[in-house]
Structure 1
Amino acid sequence: MKAKNILGILFIGIMMIGLMTPLAEADTLDRTDFEQESFAKTVDFYDYVRAYTTLHGIPEPENFDKWHANMYMTYVNTSGIKLLYAGLEEITTDESAYLRIPMQSFIMHYKTNQNNRDVILASTFLMLMAFNETATSLYPDSPDRNDVLYASFSLGFDLSDLGETLPVLNSETETIPLTHSEDKLEWEWGMRYTNLTALWWRTWINPNNPRFDNSWPVALTVYDELAFTYKLTIDPDAGTATLQENHVIGRMRHMFVGVIPFPLLCTYYNSTGHYGTFGKIKLDDNTIYDFVQDNNLKMSIINFQTSVMADHETYSQTQSGQSVTDAETEVTDTSIETYADDGEKIFNADFGTKKTYKLYNYTADPTETASNIYNRIERNSTARTTKIGGFTGNGGLFAYHIGLMKFLPAVVVHMYPALAVKAASTIANMSRANYFYTISYPEYSGYRVEHDPTLTAYIATEPIATPEPSGLFDNATGG
């Protein structure tokens, strides 16, 4: 793939001595794990998939023995809901380049509150996207097809040998343990990517011609962190399971701008100024935050969500009844409700309740202890659904995501086997999503952002009884 070759050129061009060390030894994932009330461990997910495909005689991709993906997985199985979380730590498809790509997914299984029918629901964080609005922007303060867009993808390499004057560019991950309240109705966990090094690729999301410029990335940035923490609150009496997602986009600390594979053709920004020649000569006092603000760069996140039921289709709409599937619909001050095709409400993604995000002005307060809180409505910060094809048509950009996601439904066989086949044709295929959505933060300047949208599943009050596997999925194991 051309993008992979470019990463190799970049690697040599900035005098990298060695690649990241191989993935750390991981635990195994087994069907008996899903019989527990909970678990939390890091597994090589592709080891699990290899065991699964071997057991069922499923063809494997070429050189699949060299594929590895360390994922931090947590599982909660109580009070009528099963929730599997998977956060990607590192991934490789050739055992030479080990990439740390932030990818977060969760899969829920539960019975619906009213009619006691089984649902599998999946949600995935896809990427960060920086954007610059143009005179022809379609949606103010939100990345759209007429804006200048930059997909921000983690590089994952250890670039710490660049020299004393330049930053350490070695991304790392920290897992946040799974904990619960005494009554086991509240659960918390998460993952943090620290010192996150990412390339910015010029990207277009017009569904008629989706693409990215894979000739050269236009910038390389280092974020303090990209963190995801989750809090699951189960209310058996109300028949709800509420998942609060808190994500933190750490402040930018370093940015290289120019012809990225060639350091002599780049300039470098940090909190003290603007530098050339490998950071040794100061060009002016413009900081990284001045650069982001002067160029009117804004930040957003891209997510998508999918749901399946056994004998029914599902659809998603706003509270006012406007469809959000493959549609560009603003949802800043409302929620997206997902229904079975006979009208039973099964899920709700609420963007209106939490109208603010916190922006920590590092220039005014380097300790980042005081926050300026911006009301999303007053500041025109937006949550919006998008055209699906603008992202799913960018197969080259999401090659690692697609390669990993197509195997995630293999765990559904242990959560609810009757829906495993249908899940494989939907959850594994981004183009089958109920909706894609973006949340944007126009007041940005490269500073730390915190935000926490809320997701609610409408669950039956009695515990789930999982039927025994049958047919294709008999005795399925993994790891």
Structure 2
Amino acid sequence: MKIVKNLAAILLFMIIQFSVFAQTSLAAETLLKSDFTKESFAKTIDFFDYVRAYAILHGYQPPPSNWHAYVYTVYVNKFGLKMLYTGLCNVSFGDQAFLTIPMQTFVMHYKTENKSRDVLVSSSFLMLLAFNDTEYSLYSDSPDRNDKLWASVSLGFNLQQLFPNTTFPSLCSKTITYPLKSSNGGYTWTWGMKYTNLTALWWRTYISPDNHTYNSRPFALTTYDELTFNYTLTIDPSTHKATLTENYVIGKMRDLWIFSGWFLVPLYSHYNATGCYMYNHKISNETIYQFIERNQIKMSIVEFQNSVLLDHETVCRANGENVTDNEVFISNTTVSTYSDDGERIFDTSFGVKENYKLYNCTADPTESSYKIYEAVTRTVQIGGIAKNEVLNHHKNILRYIPLFVAHMYPKMLERAKESIANVTKSNYIYVISYPNYSGYKIEHDPLYTAYLTTEGASQNQTGRYILIAVVVIIAASAIIVIARKGRKTANMTQSQS
């Protein structure tokens, strides 16, 4: 019996050694260690199986065996740049309920432009944060700890149990992945994801460093037409420049359910484009867009940025001011990340496109026309957001992202585990707010720039410098968690050709 057990253990080790990802679903693909030596790949994998396989091989504590996260993974390895993208399709933490989380993260590895130092840069969306300025607001038109804040994050709350005779929007979302395609001789790459009929709960939340909690009962439930992410990576060896364009579009809000009376008799008011209803009876002609406008509810995006060098620390400044764990307005400026001895390694520029487009579907149902307004962008204190309990699901996923680095560039793994996906150790967290909102579609595009040394473009280009400009077009993007209830298996993504 002991021999049989030993043979079984050896066989398991050999299987994992061959493949760093163990399949648990026919719809999930196998991610091999050798994939990271290729020029590119695109696969939908079970991320937690990938993590468990790696943990067994290297003596780490694996996540629970009943955790599963289906992730669309794209990798491009060109001219010294290694770019890894992950888009989360759905996730289960062992309670049989799958959550659809439009969670988008990219990690880049490259060597710096001047001193050829190894650097990792990561960026992730944390959440969509609705807010209302109060008389005690610290920063007008930008969410702060004295405002009313609502995190747009669904945590699987069972509304049907409290309202058994009411039909709510489906908490399930169809996910479509756009395949990775190359053109122009391999210098242009495109891919993307699309979520339809997204439904998100709004939670009253607090972002003070000494109060980073949220109310246990949701304030509202809302449905968005869609959330679409399209990406284009273009490399131009003649100008030594590459651009990564992230085009995010969120559709108009279609329904809004406002809840009240939790401690007595739960009540709700349902707003849509035709008016306001209570228990299927129309009580007024006020539409969802009029309600948001009347209550001056504004929208914002919360994102965190991080970067690490192999043998140096980094510092981030805007107009000469350190922005780490600091509240600094950066709407019309650039946040530059430097090594501790002064080499510039990354830029986030908001002044390039400080305005955003708002599409009023009431005035124009085709959403072909828009008005332009000024966005307000500010870095914020890290603790109130990074430690907020409403983001626990996100952090359970993000903390394992550095294990991808083990196959991208193993020398950076330990540095990556220290901080690259740890929100509490962010270089900075920033909020882009949209004071004019009313529930309509928004488009916006700040600019990211990284500086690196290129490799292998051609015989006379090897070792020369290339500028990587990452252009991010944000359309009210967010990390919106959609609960999938009563599901025992994951609703895997569908590829759209």
Change (3 A) 1:441 1:118: same
Match of 2:184 in 1: 182
Q: 1:24: how far off? A: 7.6
CA deviations over 1:341-383 (Å, ceiling 9, x no partner): 1111111111111122221101101121222232x1xxxx211
Q: 2:396 aligned with 1:403, yes or no?
A: yes
Is the aligned partner of 1:358 residue 2:357? Answer: yes
Q: After superposition, where does 1:236-275 map in structure 2 within 5 Å?
A: 236=237, 238-259=239-260, 265-275=267-277
2:429 corresponds, among 429, 436, 441, to: 436
Q: Answer yes or no: is 1:385 the counterpart of 2:367.
A: no
Amino acid of the residue matched to residue 171 of structure 1?
A: S
Change (3 A) 1:246 1:266: same
User: 1:145 & 1:183 partners in 2: Cα distance?
Assistant: 50
Which stretch of the first structure deviates more once superposed, 349-358 or 418-427? Answer: 349-358
Q: Distance in 1 between matches of 2:372 and 2:356?
A: 6
Residue 142 of structure 1 pairs with residue 135 of structure 2: no
Residue 405 of structure 1: CA displacement? 1.1
Structure 1, 189-198 or 292-301: larger mean CA deviation: 189-198
Moved more, 88-97 or 124-133: 88-97
Q: Secondary structure at the match of 1:302?
A: strand
Counterpart contact for 1:331–1:383, Cα < 8 Å: yes
Decide whether aligned partners of structure 1 residues 324 and 235 sit closer, same or farther in structure 2, where only a CA change above 3 A counts: farther
Question: For 1:305 and 1:94, how far apart are their aligned partners in 2?
Answer: 30
2:346/2:448 contact within 8 Å kept: yes
| Equivalent runs, 1:156-175 vs 2, <5 Å | 167-175=169-177
Cα 1:134–1:457 shift into 2, 3 Å: same
Distance of aligned partners of 1:295 and 1:36 in 2 relative to their CA distance in 1, 3 Å threshold = same
Report the more deviating stretch, 305-314 or 151-160.
Answer: 151-160
Give me the whole-angstrom Cα distance separating, in 2, the residues matched to 1:426 and 1:127.
20
Task: Say if 2:316 and 2:323, in contact at 8 Å, map to a contact too.
Answer: yes
- State the Cα deviation string for residues 372-416 of structure 1 (Å, max 9, x = none): 232x1xxxx21111100011121x211111111111100101111
Q: Residues of 2 paired with 1:106 and 1:288: CA distance?
A: 34
Helix, strand or coil at the partner of 2:448: strand
**Taking structure 1 as reference, are residues 398 and 103 closer, same or farther at Cα in structure 2, changes over 3 Å only?**
same
Distance 2:208 2:290 in 1: 30
Q: TM-score, normalised by structure 2?
A: 0.82
Correspondence for 1:299: 299
Partner Cα separation in structure 1 for residue 25 and residue 98 of structure 2: 8
SS state at 1:99 partner: strand
Distance 1:297 1:24 in 2: 44
Q: CA deviation at 1:244?
A: 2.6
For 1:100 and 1:154, the matched residues in 2 are separated by 9
Matched residue SS, 2:65: helix
1:370 and 1:23, CA in 2 relative to 1: closer, same or farther beyond 3 A? Answer: farther
Q: Which runs of 5+ in 1 are unaligned?
A: 1-21, 466-479
Partner SS for 2:114: coil
RMSD, aligned α-carbons: 2.5
Q: Is the 8 A contact 1:299 1:440 kept in 2?
A: yes
In the TM superposition, residue 181 of structure 1 has moved relative to its aligned partner by 3.0
Q: Which aligned pairs between 1:35-434 and structure 2 lie closer than 5 A?
A: 35-61=37-63, 64-154=64-154, 167-214=169-216, 216-236=217-237, 238-259=239-260, 265-277=267-279, 280-318=280-318, 320-374=319-373, 376=374, 381-394=375-388, 396-434=389-427
3-state SS in 2 of match to 1:42: strand
CA distance in 2, matches of 1:28, 1:163: 44
Indicate the residue corresponding to 2:440 in structure 1.
Answer: 447
Shift of 1:314: 1.0
Question: CA offset at residue 288 of structure 1?
Answer: 0.4
Query: Alpha carbons of 1:92 and 1:50: their partners in 2 closer, same or farther (altered >3 Å)?
Result: same
Q: Is the aligned partner of 1:462 residue 2:461? A: no
| Matched position secondary structure for 2:71 | strand
Q: Kindly state the Cα deviation for residue 245 of structure 1 after the two structures are TM-superposed.
A: 2.5
Q: 1:236 to 1:326 in 2, by over 3 A?
A: farther
Tell me how far 1:237 sits from its aligned partner. Answer: 5.1
Whole-Å Cα distance in 1 between the matches of residues 322 and 351 of structure 2?
A: 17
* 1:65 match: secondary structure: coil
Shift of residue 167, structure 1, vs aligned partner: 4.1
In 2, the alpha carbon distance for the partners of 1:390 and 1:239 equals 40
Against the structure 1 CA distance between its residues 117 and 83, is the aligned structure 2 distance closer, same or farther, given a 3 Å change threshold? same
- Matched to 2:129, the amino acid is M
Cα distance between partner residues in 2 of 1:175 and 1:451: 23
The one-character-per-residue Cα deviations of 1:126-161 (angstroms, maximum 9, x if unpaired) are 110000001121112111111100000145799999
Residues in 1 aligned to 2:82 and 2:429: alpha-carbon distance in whole angstroms: 23
- Aligned with 1:50: secondary structure? helix
**How far does residue 235 in structure 1 lie from its aligned partner after superposition?**
4.0
Offset of residue 241 of structure 1 = 3.6
CA distance in 2, matches of 1:176, 1:162: 38
Cα shift at 1:437: 0.7
Deviates more, 1:156-165 or 1:222-231: 156-165
TM-score by length of 1: 0.85
Whether the aligned pair in 2 keeps the contact of 1:100 and 1:155 (CA below 8 Å) is no
Instruction: Provide the secondary structure at the position in 2 that maps to 1:144.
Output: coil
Matches within 5 A, 1:2-21: none
Asked if the contact 2:153–2:390 (Cα under 8 Å) also holds between the matched residues in 1, the reply is: no
In structure 2, the gaps of 5 or more residues are 1-23, 463-497
Distance 1:140 1:358 in 2: 20
- C-alpha distance in 2, partners of 1:157/1:148? 21
Q: Distance in 2 between matches of 1:258 and 1:25?
A: 38
1:212 counterpart SS class:
coil
Tell me the distance in 2 between the aligned counterparts of 1:191 and 1:335: 29
- Stretch of structure 1 that moved more, 84-93 or 446-455: 446-455
Give identity over the alignment, percent: 51
With over 3 angstroms needed to count, the CA separation of the structure-2 counterparts of 1:169 and 1:430, relative to structure 1, is closer
The answer as to whether partners of 1:72 and 1:86 remain within 8 angstroms in 2 is: yes
1:73-124 CA distance string (max 9 Å, x none): 1111002201000011111111511111221111100111111111111111
Shift of 1:452: 2.2
